[in-house]
Structure 1
Amino acid sequence: MLDWLEILFKAFWCGIAASGFAVLFNAPKRSFIAIFLCGVLAGLTKFIILFPAMGGGIILASAAGATATGFVSIPVSHWRHVPPVVISIPAVIPLIPGSYAYRSMLGIINFINNTEIDVLTRTIHNGLMTLFIILVLSLGVTLPMLLFRIDSVKKFRFMQIFDKDE
């Protein structure tokens, strides 16, 4: 029970951070609730997959959180009358891997003074983790928008995708 409360707590703070980035990016006021909820969804998805019983890695968890946010931002953007990017980008920014980027920069600095192979391998590992997480975040946000690119969300029907042959 305590683990689920911790996941909900972390997801809530992802929503708060997403709202902070919405303010920083000067998003319209009407989109703040949607950005907060999408930030909570992104954090909830990521931390549920990172839950030890689920056994998912951070790259998979970040991809799932960004993809869920990308899919949800399409109809929610119509509800709040803003482009989907206004909702999805601030919502996934809390998922950016700051610790891996920080450790890779420290590793580069340490490698200058200490040229051991262990320092180099840890630095490369942290740098590649940062790269792959940022890659799946960008793909997870943009792929739903590219897949469901239509004239208007008002006309969007899920089965319309499969009925194109008729």
Structure 2
Amino acid sequence: MQEWLHFIDRWFWLGMGAIGFAILFNVPKRTIFTIFLLGAFGGSLKFIVLAAGGGIILGSFFGAVLVGFASLFAAHYRHTPPFVLAIPAVIPMVPGAFAYRAMLGVIHLTEKIDHETFLKLMEETIDNGLKAFFVLAALSLGVSAPMLIFRRESAKNLAVRIKPDEAKLK
């Protein structure tokens, strides 16, 4: 029972984080609840993958793919571009702690320390920096890949006017 309460608590706060970024980006009001659901379910899938033994990079990728696909379908019902829904929903999955530790490690590497401590600190800094980089890459690939795949099929229906309508010019 305790695990379910923790899961629901985490689900709620992931959704609230997504709403916070949605408000910050000034998205339309009609999309707020959808962004809450996308952020909550995408972040929850990330933590489910982590609990199942997958790494943070794989979990972030699957969470972002879920957000990417779901935002494609939700965009039609909310009459808004998919990225308006997907980007605020995926930002709470950004690895701020790893990036912070990497930058803090770089700062500590400039101090006068012995060789053994320097090597250990360098290893931790590189590890945190690479984790942050690959999680960000997984998030961006996971969100954009579904949109790129399906956009190619639907681009045929778009009518793009290259020249202005001559009837309006006369």
Structure 2 length as normaliser, TM-score? 0.85
Residue 4 of structure 1 deviates from its aligned partner by 2.7
Asked if the contact 1:63/1:133 (under 8 Å) is kept, the reply is yes
Matches of residues 1-166 of structure 1 in structure 2 within 5 Å? 1-51=1-51, 54-113=52-111, 114=113, 116-149=118-151, 150-151=153-154
Q: Provide the residue aligned with 1:163 in structure 2.
A: none
Identity of aligned residues (%): 49
Asked if the contact 1:70/1:140 (under 8 Å) is kept, the reply is yes
Classify the secondary structure of the residue corresponding to 1:50.
helix
Residue 85 of structure 1 deviates from its aligned partner by 0.1
**Matched residue pairs, number?**
151
Asked if the contact 1:63/1:136 (under 8 Å) is kept, the reply is yes
Within 2, Cα distance between the matches of 1:26 and 1:95? 20
Asked if the contact 1:67/1:141 (under 8 Å) is kept, the reply is yes
Q: Which runs of 5+ in 1 are unaligned?
A: 153-166
Within 2, Cα distance between the matches of 1:108 and 1:7? 35
Within 2, Cα distance between the matches of 1:96 and 1:11? 16
Residue 6 of structure 1 deviates from its aligned partner by 1.2
Q: Which runs of 5+ in 2 are unaligned?
A: 156-170
Structure 1 length as normaliser, TM-score? 0.87
Deviations 1:65-122 (A, max 9, x none): 0000000000101110000000000000000001001100110011111361111010
Within 2, Cα distance between the matches of 1:66 and 1:4? 23
